[in-house]
């Protein structure tokens, strides 16, 4: 997706085919500035012709119409029209945060499961917070029943025998 600076205003987004069409229709020229994600600064369309190449050649610039001399004195001499400079704003560069996950020890996972499994500590260690909270709440709120603690311990034994990756998909060593 491309953005154009037209009359000092950012317009777009456009596809490359849209820009080619605008070049063919002389709606924009090769001096028009454009920007797309990843670029540090605005550039002219002409500096990157390979992006917007068409088989069409832009016609040469025609000379501006000149008034006959007898009418030139009647022209508005006090008004001078100047093209306003285009303000180009640099687009912000977005930096994506990188999360580095350290490898977890399978032995630590098993030992935490055996000794503190009822509290879900082994799942918190491996990054499975939801499972850890569920085991912690079941154990703390329903410890007085016989069925729930037995069910939680069966759940823990199954987990320490089958789980070999952490929550990020990294294999435990």
Q: What element of type H or E holds 106?
A: helix 106-116
Whether residue 45 contacts residue 31, with contact meaning beta carbons closer than 8 Å, is answered with yes
pTM above 0.85, yes or no: no
Radius of gyration of the chain (CA): 34
Cα gap 133→76, rounded to integer Å? 80
Q: What element of type H or E holds 141?
A: helix 129-142
Q: What is the mean pLDDT of residues 152-164?
A: 95
Write out the two tokens for 163. 């789980």
Structural domains for the chain: 2-56 (3.30.1490), 106-162 (no CATH)
How do residues 9-41 score in pLDDT, each as one tens digit? 888 788 888 888 888 888 888 888 888 877 778
State yes or no: pLDDT of 119 exceeds 60: yes
């Amino acid at each position: 997706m491309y953005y154009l600076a037209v009359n000092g205003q950012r317009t777009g987004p456009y596809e490359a085919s849209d820009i080619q069409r605008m070049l063919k229709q002389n709606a924009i020229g090769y001096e028009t500035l454009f920007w797309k994600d990843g670029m540090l600064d605005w550039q002219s369309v002409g500096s990157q012709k390979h992006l917007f190449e068409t088989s069409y050649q832009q016609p040469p610039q025609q000379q501006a119409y000149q008034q006959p001399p007898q009418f030139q004195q009647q022209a508005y001499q006090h008004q001078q029209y100047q093209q306003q400079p285009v303000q180009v704003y640099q687009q912000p560069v977005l930096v994506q945060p990188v999360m580095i996950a350290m490898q977890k020890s399978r032995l630590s996972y098993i030992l935490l499961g055996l000794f503190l499994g009822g509290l879900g500590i082994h799942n918190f260690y491996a990054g499975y917070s939801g499972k850890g909270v569920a085991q912690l709440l079941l154990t703390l709120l329903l410890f007085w029943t016989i069925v729930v603690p037995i069910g939680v311990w069966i759940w823990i034994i199954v987990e320490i025998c089958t789980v070999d990756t952490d929550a990020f998909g990294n294999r435990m060593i």
